[in-house]
Structure 1
């Protein structure tokens, strides 16, 4: 089977490509810069010759049409995932217009299966703070989440028209080998570096990118038109549980103060305004605080495509270990999770 994949050099896309190649499928990537492909995939055991690359952008309709031509299935994972206020305009273009372009092209090309990678955040704020496949599209009061909600509407319109589109809702994802050091990896990194001593109360679903990749590989190979809306495997963590798990895997104290999330929202607004002129990243992001304030849980009965979420401590340990091995964390900051690398465990 030939699968065309956007976003294949990002965290979700690269791990999904590795899962597809391991299952024996042919993969075609759409990438703005071909030089980023090997850097993203080689650490996952996918050689340079294992995928075909179409150089281009999701906003280029002719390029997208060529990219999906002849594909048996399409995975649209390309997205600007960031709470950085400096990227608001880019989010609107890529997340909304890009999704429309790719899904329209895939439908015209007759792809037998299309998987759109949404986000649980596209359904926020949730009624009763519980998310499920019947949850309506959200009306989040945050720019990134709002663009994902708008793209979600586009995908649901294709579903309503009978197109073979599946929508997945990954949790906040961690795991080893993050090619672009995305939002969640950076947040964990900043916590271990002592740059986030204050956390909002609340919580969020957290999962392992390898589990979501396994879900995507299963959906793309599935026959028929089932599995319309599927949640990525994960666990709901309060922010206290998040930090506590990091303490357990690193054996570090990580002193932390917790404040009500809604009381911290004005701080996030001010940080976003300052970020537009401040050249360095400010960890106090409105979007992250807002997500914790919503504190939405995924319905325990929601379908995860038959993939069981691995223990969250395993995900945190593997992420910290990778960050240390790649030089992003010192041995002291990685703590016990980093020490185990030097005790003879596989690298």
Structure 2
């Protein structure tokens, strides 16, 4: 009998790829959705992506849960073998009150972990982020960050702070209240690659904005990047390597400066007005006063924040894809969807 894996936020960009790979490998999946109205679309998307209809019918089920409320969580996790908690708010804009982002991230993570404990689920894989690893200023000489590093919440913007505090809350909960839970975190960089289905949330907004030609210049920032399929594979590899318990794993296949990202897109779409010139940092700071989508990157201006994926390669056997190829796949998807 195959193991049953519970995946929160089942309709999310990463979660769909994770469910796809779990089903491919023979696992049964129980996924949480905000509304059961989305179950049919999720199953249709997975079938269209190549999972046999019989497998989807027999191996995938959904339950309606809200990360903001306790109702139904303990029952939903009863009888599962492991929890993969991928759900977390991802905003495009910096919120006026950072607590509107931080509290749902922290409370939702703790709610999922407590439900796992109550249901006797002792294996948890948590999706965190490289923003919970990176701090500014950069390391001397631009040396890569790794899993031993933590973001400084005193200087972090709202989203990095929410991911950092949520991950720390998870580690603290396991250490102090649930030592029986074997926890592993996967910390992806900027996730790229073709989504499963038409919905992908805010994850591809960076590429969408670069392709739009909205900006005359690009900011002096960069991103640790990773293919969405490699993020999903990292979760499953962590599950299948019991020795990964108690460990963090950065999921990063490369690093792209925004100017590099734009140049790759410009070469592929020469007729588009894709900006490649780097904007002065002072200009970006001024623009951030008026554009909330810029405000969140101000701490990163002029900084290089590479994150090493060597640990995931060595201990989980992940072979990361070329992130330039993932970027072009993302762009092709957006163009096909008439999003650019």
Shift of 1:222: 2.9
Shift of 1:181: 3.5
Alignment equivalent of 1:316, drawn from 303, 327, 330: 327
Residue 312 to residue 250, structure 1, CA distance change in 2 (3 Å): farther
Shift of 1:136: 2.8
Give runs of aligned pairs for residues 279-294 of structure 1, distance below 5 A: 284-294=293-303
Aligned mates of 1:227, 1:245 — CA distance in 2: 38
Aligned mates of 2:300, 2:72 — CA distance in 1: 35
Residues 79 and 91 of structure 1 are in contact (CA less than 8 Å); yes or no, is this contact kept in structure 2?
A: no
Name 2:252's counterpart in structure 1: 233
Name 1:136's counterpart in structure 2: 150
- SS of residue matched to 1:265: helix
Aligned mates of 1:286, 1:180 — CA distance in 2: 25
Residue range with higher mean Cα deviation, 133-142 or 185-194: 133-142
Superposition TM-score, scaled by structure 2 size: 0.84
Name 1:25's counterpart in structure 2: 27
Alignment equivalent of 2:124, drawn from 114, 117, 133: 114
Alignment equivalent of 2:267, drawn from 228, 248, 256: 248
Superposition TM-score, scaled by structure 1 size: 0.83
- SS of residue matched to 2:112: helix
Residues 74 and 115 of structure 2 are in contact (CA less than 8 Å); yes or no, is this contact kept in structure 1?
A: yes
Aligned mates of 1:68, 1:220 — CA distance in 2: 17
Aligned mates of 1:225, 1:174 — CA distance in 2: 25
Aligned mates of 1:156, 1:301 — CA distance in 2: 22
Q: How many residues align?
A: 318
CA distances 1:248-269 after superposition (whole Å, capped 9, x unpaired) = 3334462333124465234224
Aligned mates of 2:228, 2:222 — CA distance in 1: 19
Residue 85 to residue 313, structure 1, CA distance change in 2 (3 Å): closer
Unaligned runs of 5+ residues in structure 2 are none
Give runs of aligned pairs for residues 215-226 of structure 1, distance below 5 A: 215-224=234-243, 226=245
Aligned mates of 1:258, 1:326 — CA distance in 2: 28
Is 2:277 the partner of 1:257?
yes
Residues 125 and 294 of structure 1 are in contact (CA less than 8 Å); yes or no, is this contact kept in structure 2?
A: no
Residues 6 and 29 of structure 1 are in contact (CA less than 8 Å); yes or no, is this contact kept in structure 2?
A: yes
Residues 219 and 227 of structure 1 are in contact (CA less than 8 Å); yes or no, is this contact kept in structure 2?
A: no
Shift of 1:65: 1.3
Residue range with higher mean Cα deviation, 175-184 or 236-245: 175-184
Aligned mates of 1:125, 1:199 — CA distance in 2: 22
Shift of 1:241: 1.2
Residues 215 and 275 of structure 2 are in contact (CA less than 8 Å); yes or no, is this contact kept in structure 1?
A: no
Name 1:343's counterpart in structure 2: none
Is 2:39 the partner of 1:37?
yes
Residues 121 and 291 of structure 1 are in contact (CA less than 8 Å); yes or no, is this contact kept in structure 2?
A: no
CA distances 1:211-245 after superposition (whole Å, capped 9, x unpaired) = 11111122223335536100113211112211122
Across the aligned residues of Structure 1 and Structure 2, the Cα RMSD in angstroms comes to: 2.4
Aligned mates of 1:303, 1:217 — CA distance in 2: 12
Alignment equivalent of 2:184, drawn from 151, 155, 166: 166
Name 2:108's counterpart in structure 1: 98
Name 1:280's counterpart in structure 2: none
Shift of 1:111: 1.8
Aligned mates of 2:187, 2:302 — CA distance in 1: 19
Residue 31 to residue 300, structure 1, CA distance change in 2 (3 Å): closer
Shift of 1:70: 1.6
Unaligned runs of 5+ residues in structure 1 are 273-283, 330-347
Aligned mates of 2:338, 2:101 — CA distance in 1: 30
Residues 174 and 316 of structure 1 are in contact (CA less than 8 Å); yes or no, is this contact kept in structure 2?
A: yes
Shift of 1:287: 1.6
